[in-house]
Structure 1
Amino acid sequence: MSVDATPDPYADQLAFGQRLKILRTRRGHTRDQLGGLVGRSGSWVRALEEGRLKVPRLDTVLRLAEALRVRDLGELTGDQSSPPVGLFAGPRHPRLGPVKAAIDTWSLADTEEAPPAEHLAARLAAAWSARHSAPDHRERIGALLPGLIQDARRAAVQAETPADRRATQAALSEVYSLAQFFIAYQGDVSLLWRVVERGMVAAQDSADPHTIGVAAWLAAQAHRDSGPGHFDAADTVTNDVLRYLTPMLPDAPDKILAITGALTFEAAYTAARRGETGTAWRHWDRARELADRLPADYFHPVTSFSRGIMGAHAVTVAVELHAGGESVRQAGLADADTIPSRPRRARHRIEEARAYHLDGQPDAALATLAKAHAAAPETIKYNGYAKRIVLEEAEAKSPSRRRRASALAVQLGILAA
């Protein structure tokens, strides 16, 4: 290796601190940023990197791995016997290959006629219904996506009038939105960003405010989940589209109110990740005001935004601010039964579990994760926060807690039976 080459953090001879420094640098974190994400100081991170502190306990290693988005713990520890679990990259779904092939294929000689717009719309509606109602939602939408992608592209290419072109671009953007839900947390970052960018381009070409809002909502999430170095990009997308939508609000239909509310909550979420307590709750309050303007039974089909979701959103804000007591208080106020979407309900249960874990209630956290698994196994299986809690408690001092955590780890496929 030349003297100018970047060291490989996976080489066996590197110490834990060296691996930590290389992975931190690659993720674009400063020491203060990484320390803040795990509740420590920048000087503590420096001491670890320089080898002045010994390798921390498993729970802390898991938090570092979570913040660095490493694929497996062994990449950080150098220990090949570490659990082969990708904390923020779940197992690749068997249907990822066909979905990727459909996204990557551009057939210029395709002469097959596109389906009627009504037929495509009905298939999209069925796919969203499966997304929200099926416990194996990734399996269901993964089976539908290749055909939807191909037919939505055909429709966009074959559109003859400006109005038809805008409508087909809106449908294509919606298909990419559905694809992003399927692809998320499967470790194929380049594929995820191709889908995000194509969804945004198609949304802009549609000139439809709701479609643009949905694409921006998903793009903001992709930026935020890429780490602190991308928080500004998440805010830029969110704020630009909020400025575009806000003048429409006085007489807006429900779906415009809902996507504006969902984007406003995204601003709260990013502020909470930054640790900006006042800003996060101010955005949450604004999102709640928008939710209160919606009918009591309204539920946005993509973002799940509704009156009932605001309690779950409050738990997320408190958890991201690392406020254990407030997180548990908000969890007690939220009603999971008001969330009709199974994967979104499971996600809320995971956030509740994080709240209990932050508050030093590991048994309650494990019980809540079991509820998440019952609601939607394919949601918790791909969630890094859930896996971190389970792995940490699988090494707890309490024998009964170890057994419960280990049994859940087996269900999630992160430990062998």
Structure 2
Amino acid sequence: MTDSMTFGARLRAHRERAGKTRPVLGGLVGRSAEWVKALENGRLLPPRLPMLLRLAEVLEISDLADLTGDQSLPVASVTRAGHPDIDNVAAAMQRATAPVGEPTPVDVLRGLVDQAWTLWHRSTIERTEVAAVLPGLLADAQRSVRRLDGVARRQALVELARVYHLTQLYLAHQPCPELVWLAADRAMLAAQEADDPCAIAVAAWYYAHVYRGSNQTDAAEQVLVDAAGRIDPAADGEQLARWGQAQLGIALGHSKAGRAGKAWRAWDAAEGAGRRLGSGYAHPWLMFGPAACATYAITIETDLCRPGEAVRRADTADFRALPSHTRRAAALIEATRAHLLNRGEVAAVHLLGRALRESVDTVRHHPYARTVALELSNRPGTVGEDARDLALAIGVPG
């Protein structure tokens, strides 16, 4: 980029670097391909701050100055709200050596990890609840892996991987993306050292999240394909669930890359696994099951820029079938995306409000939820009034 480049030229350069067509970029921010073309050609003035932020998020631009050519404004300063306990969790993650002391018996450690996952799913302030136990849980798991031997050590490694997965979820959308990568990497190393195919499959699911977040969709697919190949879905329900979740991750990568056929083939495989597990099944901490497949279908349709189908999926999804406040809130945010893609602003505000009632922490720390609340707060009438109330509750700066 040069200082003399216009906003339109910068937008086009970033769009092409991201490998997105005008229809795709327009669809992802709720506008048309002609609108994008008009911006790039200078026939329209640059949009207001909320839309600039949405463009920057979609194009993975960290500083708005790279898009506008004006003064620096880190996108994360608006879209990412740091949790009050982030420093404590970050310090625990960055500890260079394992804590000294006696190991925690594996069955006790497993129970503690289960309790932490229950907090994550059952609380409406899940980040706050989990942040209180994560530093100690990381220390317990690391200490046990260091002091135990043989089978017990392998079992402790599996639990350590689960703690790192939970830490990755806590760190997501926080102003420290390097720690998200660190959590994903350490979880995979622990699972591989345990030589546990089921643990490796889950580690691949979470590693794929960070790959997709950095636009490395092929790498995301590969890590999931490799992990799924280690699992026998016919062996038992646990392996079937983890195989199905891997297929779901593959589907999400293909949809982000715009490969509709491959996305739906992988989703069909995941949905078939969910059906075999039973209509009311939900994995106790991964939450994979038929309800999860149905809500991820909303994400797939939205990423593929098919607003009509995305809204249809959103309107027929049974969000209450997800036994997790944070998963329901995340799914409702995806439904918000679908309706806004279809110009349904009233529905979008309503769904975002429902998401906030499910989990304050999920909505408050979700970049899309924050930018949408800010954007819609500028609308006239009841949409703007309700959106301003939401923005205030979320803590978005006006």
Please, what TM-score do these two structures have when normalized by structure 2?
Answer: 0.90
**Aligned match of 1:130:** 119
Distance 1:411 1:215, change over 3 A: same
2:223 counterpart (237, 261, 272): 237
Contact between 1:70 and 1:86, CA under 8 Å: does it hold in 2?
Answer: no
1:142 counterpart (111, 121, 131): 131
2:338 counterpart (355, 360, 363): 355
Distance 2:387 2:336 in 1: 13
Compute the displacement of 1:200 (Å): 0.4
Compute the displacement of 1:265 (Å): 0.9
Distance 1:360 1:87 in 2: 27
**Aligned AA (2:209):** Q
- Matching of residue 408 in structure 1 with residue 390 in structure 2: yes
2:259 counterpart (262, 267, 276): 276
Distance 2:190 2:204 in 1: 12
Compute the displacement of 1:266 (Å): 1.1
**Aligned AA (2:87):** G
Contact between 1:217 and 1:238, CA under 8 Å: does it hold in 2?
Answer: yes
Contact between 1:38 and 1:63, CA under 8 Å: does it hold in 2?
Answer: no
**Aligned AA (1:128):** W
- Matching of residue 63 in structure 1 with residue 51 in structure 2: no
1:176 counterpart (160, 164, 176): 164
Q: Identity, % of aligned pairs?
A: 32
Range 288-297 or range 172-181, more displaced = 288-297
Distance 1:406 1:73 in 2: 23
Compute the displacement of 1:107 (Å): 3.2
Contact between 2:26 and 2:36, CA under 8 Å: does it hold in 1?
Answer: no
- Matching of residue 267 in structure 1 with residue 258 in structure 2: no
Look up the SS of the partner of 2:384 in the other structure: helix
Distance 1:43 1:198 in 2: 43
Contact between 1:85 and 1:414, CA under 8 Å: does it hold in 2?
Answer: no
**Aligned match of 2:151:** 163
Distance 1:220 1:80 in 2: 34
Look up the SS of the partner of 1:293 in the other structure: helix
**Aligned match of 2:305:** 322
2:92 counterpart (102, 120, 128): 102
Kindly provide the CA deviation profile for residues 74-118 of structure 1, in whole angstroms up to 9, marking residues without a partner as x: 664356698x8638952111211111111111236x431122212
Distance 1:47 1:377, change over 3 A: closer
**Aligned AA (2:302):** V
Compute the displacement of 1:33 (Å): 5.3
Kindly provide the CA deviation profile for residues 310-363 of structure 1, in whole angstroms up to 9, marking residues without a partner as x: 221221211111111111111122111111100000111111111111112100
Look up the SS of the partner of 2:233 in the other structure: helix
Distance 2:371 2:77 in 1: 7
Distance 2:376 2:47 in 1: 12
Compute the displacement of 1:165 (Å): 2.1
**Aligned match of 2:83:** 93
**Aligned match of 1:3:** none
Distance 2:381 2:281 in 1: 45
Once the two structures are superposed, the pairs formed by residues 288-303 of structure 1 within 5 Å of their partners are 288-303=271-286
Gap runs ≥5 in structure 2: none
Kindly provide the CA deviation profile for residues 205-233 of structure 1, in whole angstroms up to 9, marking residues without a partner as x: 11112211110000011100112xx1111
Gap runs ≥5 in structure 1: 1-5
Distance 1:106 1:415, change over 3 A: closer
Aligned length: 393
Distance 1:302 1:153 in 2: 21
**Aligned match of 1:194:** 182
Distance 1:29 1:81, change over 3 A: closer
**Aligned AA (2:56):** A
Look up the SS of the partner of 1:171 in the other structure: helix
1:372 counterpart (349, 355, 361): 355
Contact between 1:65 and 1:87, CA under 8 Å: does it hold in 2?
Answer: no
Distance 1:46 1:369, change over 3 A: closer
Contact between 1:135 and 1:376, CA under 8 Å: does it hold in 2?
Answer: yes
Distance 1:307 1:24, change over 3 A: closer
**Aligned AA (2:86):** L
**Aligned match of 2:374:** 391
Please, what TM-score do these two structures have when normalized by structure 1?
Answer: 0.86
Compute the displacement of 1:34 (Å): 7.5
**Aligned match of 1:218:** 206
Look up the SS of the partner of 1:38 in the other structure: helix
Contact between 1:69 and 1:88, CA under 8 Å: does it hold in 2?
Answer: no
Contact between 2:61 and 2:75, CA under 8 Å: does it hold in 1?
Answer: no
1:114 counterpart (97, 103, 117): 103
Look up the SS of the partner of 2:80 in the other structure: coil
Contact between 2:15 and 2:25, CA under 8 Å: does it hold in 1?
Answer: no
Distance 2:327 2:78 in 1: 18
Distance 1:216 1:415, change over 3 A: same
Kindly provide the CA deviation profile for residues 119-172 of structure 1, in whole angstroms up to 9, marking residues without a partner as x: 211111110000000011001111111111111111111112x21221111111
